[in-house]
Amino acid sequence: MRLAFDRTLAALAFAATVLRAPVVLGAGDDPSHGRIDGDLSLVMGAGGAVVPGGARAEAEFRFRYLETAGIFATYEDGPLVHSGAEPLRVLCGGLELRPLFLFRWLKGFETSRGRLDLAVDSIGLELGAAFLQPSGASFASAPALEAGVGLELPIFEVATGPWVGLHGGVRWSDAALSSGQVRGPDDRSAYLDITLAWHQGFVAHVVDVGDRAPY
C-alpha cells in the first residue's frame, strides 16, 4: 500500500508539472485562435430545446465584446415542431459572462490545441428575463427569471466559423418566486438548448475608441 501511495504521489506530481509547463508556440501559431482579430463577435444559430413534456424549436442571437461579455436573445417554439412541451413558447433575453478567455490568454495558459482552448474558454454564466406562453394564455404573458450556463464546441480550430452550442439552466416564473409554490413546468422548468451556430468576429474599434485620432 505504501508503494502504491508513493506511485500515486509521483503520478500527481508529474501531471502537475506537465500542466504547468509553458506551451511552445510556432512562429505562425495564434494562441487566441482568431478571437482577437475583432473586438466584437456576432452569433446566430438554430436548433432545439429539450424541456419537460417534449422539445421546442429554438433560435438564438448573441452579441459579445472581446469574447468575454455580451447579450443574448433566444426564442423557443413548441407548436412549430408539434410538441407537447409546456410552456408552449418562450422568449428570453439577458447577459452572459465568459471569464476564462482573457485570463488564460493574458497569462499564457493557452494549450495551443485550438478546439480545446476555444471550448474551455466558451464556458459562461447566463442570467436573463424570460417571457413564457403557457397553454391557453397569450404570448409572453408569464414573466420569469432564467439562470443558466453555456458551453460551445467549435467545429474548426478558429473562432470564426460553425459551432455546436449547449446552453442549459432553470427558469422560475414570477409567481413561483413570489409565493414559493411550484405548480408545474409553467412555474419552474429546466431546459437544454442544442444549436448549430455561426460565429463571426469583426472590428468595431470599441477597444481603442479613445485612442483614435480625430479627423
CA distance 87 to 187: 9
Question: Residue 176, Cα to own-chain centre: how many angstroms?
Answer: 26
Reply yes or no on whether the pLDDT at 159 is more than 70: yes
Q: Which of 4-18, 104-118, 166-180 has the highest mean pLDDT?
A: 166-180
Residue 15 pLDDT class (50, 70, 90 cuts): very low
* Higher local confidence (pLDDT), 172 or 13: 172
Residue 22 pLDDT class (50, 70, 90 cuts): very low
Reply yes or no on whether the pLDDT at 6 is more than 70: no
Residue 126 pLDDT class (50, 70, 90 cuts): very high
Give the E-state strand segments of the chain in sequence order.
Answer: 40-51, 54-65, 69-77, 89-97, 124-133, 142-154, 161-173, 188-202
**CATH fold for the domain made of 34-202:** Porin (2.40.160)
For 71-80, the pLDDT digits (tens) are 999 999 999 9
Give the cell for residue 212: 483614435
pLDDT at 202 (0 to 100):
92
> Roughly what angle, to the nearest 10 degrees, separates helices 114-121 and 100-107?
130
Q: Any idea where the domains of the chain sit in the sequence?
A: 34-202
Give the mean pLDDT of the chain: 86
Reply yes or no on whether the pLDDT at 8 is more than 70: no
Q: What number is the average pLDDT over the span 162-179? A: 96
Residue 38 pLDDT class (50, 70, 90 cuts): confident
CA distance 72 to 49: 16
Reply yes or no on whether the pLDDT at 18 is more than 60: no
Residue among 194, 200, 172 nearest 184 (CA): 172
